[in-house]
Amino acid sequence: MKSPPTDRRVLTLFPFILASVLIFGTTRLVTETSSASWSRALRRSFPAIFSSARRNAAELDHVLDRRCNLFEGKWVLDEHNSRPLYTEDSCPYLTRQLTCQRNGRPDSLYQKWRWKPHSCDLPRFDAVKLLESLRNKRLMFIGDSIQRTQWESMVCLLQSGAADNKKYLHKDPPRKIFVAEEFNASIEFYWAPFIVESNSDHATKHTVQKRLVHLDSIAKHGRNWKGVDVMVFNSYVWWMYKPLINATIGTLDIWQYGVPTAYRMALQTWAKWIESTVNPQNQKLFFMSSSPTHLWSWEWKAGSSGNCFNETYPIEGPYWGTGSSLDIMGAVRDALRGLKVKVTLLNITQLSEFRKDGHTSVYTERRGKLLTSEQRSEPNVYADCIHWCLPGVPDTWNEILYAHLLNRKS
């Protein structure tokens, strides 16, 4: 395997066990840095772009007022008994991987936490209003299994606003499509774990261990994205399996690149597609920041040796785990700043960092089968501390997206 002459540096990365990730079980996740000052650095790197939200729908236009940063706040137990926003039983579109209660999780407190920004409130989610705003439109989530979870969350939040005999879900690989017929609206998921093309683009037959990314190729994906009214992109966890990644660019020759370098090159290809294809007058674009992991409990509880298993409360106070890379987030920031077309960053990383209690842990499946009692008895081996239970944390991500979609100024 060749290394390009322009990329001879080997980054100092800290690999660690990535439990139950990407369908095929235990792998290694790689991050670059970790320190207590990351939260401050993150706030400097990603300036506030949101603002105060009111529960009165008439005030939705002010939700992006800069006087309130929706991403700085705390998790509070819901005092109005309004959470969860849906239940496993009320949403027939949830996949078994994410239904933690049905899979045997004994506690439900993780469903009761509400994100409270310091100076405002998130607007209350109104399924009918959002469906009205999406009338005759397509909303597409593009990315990996984390993005698929956010899509499932959005479908569950929206489906109550559509008549039972006027909604359905169908698969058109690599897409999954929820349709609300009376609104002529579709909520779609498109599998593209690296955003650019790769050997892992098959909707079900893919593996992270032999990943090969085509850094300058995006046309195959782009044909499926062309004309979509609202696109929500995410790409992170598949990049972080090892510090070096096999990739092609320009030829069939395979090179090895440091992950941050390859990630930036992929975003350059994506940015060119955005600027050459998207019409900013009638299309909206968003990019989700990285979803954190909680693989090592010693990061929030000194001296412990577990992970997210049996965690029932959020982390309090400043916290930034090793599962979130500032190098990758910096690459996203630089790419968005350089675009001529507006792409709005939804910076959900820090607020999600606090939620060590929200992961599927041992209450999930692997290779299509629920974990056995024997496997559940070994959480340090089998707990999935990457994916999220639903209802849960990704619902808050969609509440933030909702604020943008219903804000006429955004």
Which pair of tokens denotes residue 304?
Answer: 């412990």
Catalytic residue among 221, 384, 395, 404: 384
Strand partners, 189: 141, 176
- Dmax (CA) for the chain in angstroms is 59
Query: What letter represents residue 167's amino acid?
Result: K
Catalytic residue among 324, 387, 395, 404: 387
Angle of helix 393-405 versus helix 145-158 axis, rounded to 10: 70
Residue 206 Cα to chain centre, angstroms: 19
Residue 226 burial (C-beta neighbours within 10 Å; 0-12, 13-18, 19+) = exposed
200 is catalytic: no
387 is catalytic: yes
Which pair of tokens denotes residue 399?
Answer: 């509440």
Distances (CA, A) of 21 to 48, 209, 333: 31, 11, 26
Residue 351's nearest CA partner among 303, 318, 385, 311 is 318
Catalytic residue among 20, 51, 133, 145: 145
Residue 121 burial (C-beta neighbours within 10 Å; 0-12, 13-18, 19+) = middle
DSSP H or E stretch at residue 285: strand 284-288
Rg (the chain; Cα; Å):
20
In 103-248, at which residue ranges do the beta strands (DSSP E only) sit? 113-117, 138-143, 167-172, 175-180, 185-191, 212-214, 230-233, 244-248
Whole-angstrom Cα distance, residue 300 to residue 76? 19
Residue 218's nearest CA partner among 248, 258, 245, 239 is 248
Backbone angles phi, psi at 327, to 5 degrees: -60, -45
65 is catalytic: no
Residues recognised as catalytic = 145, 384, 387
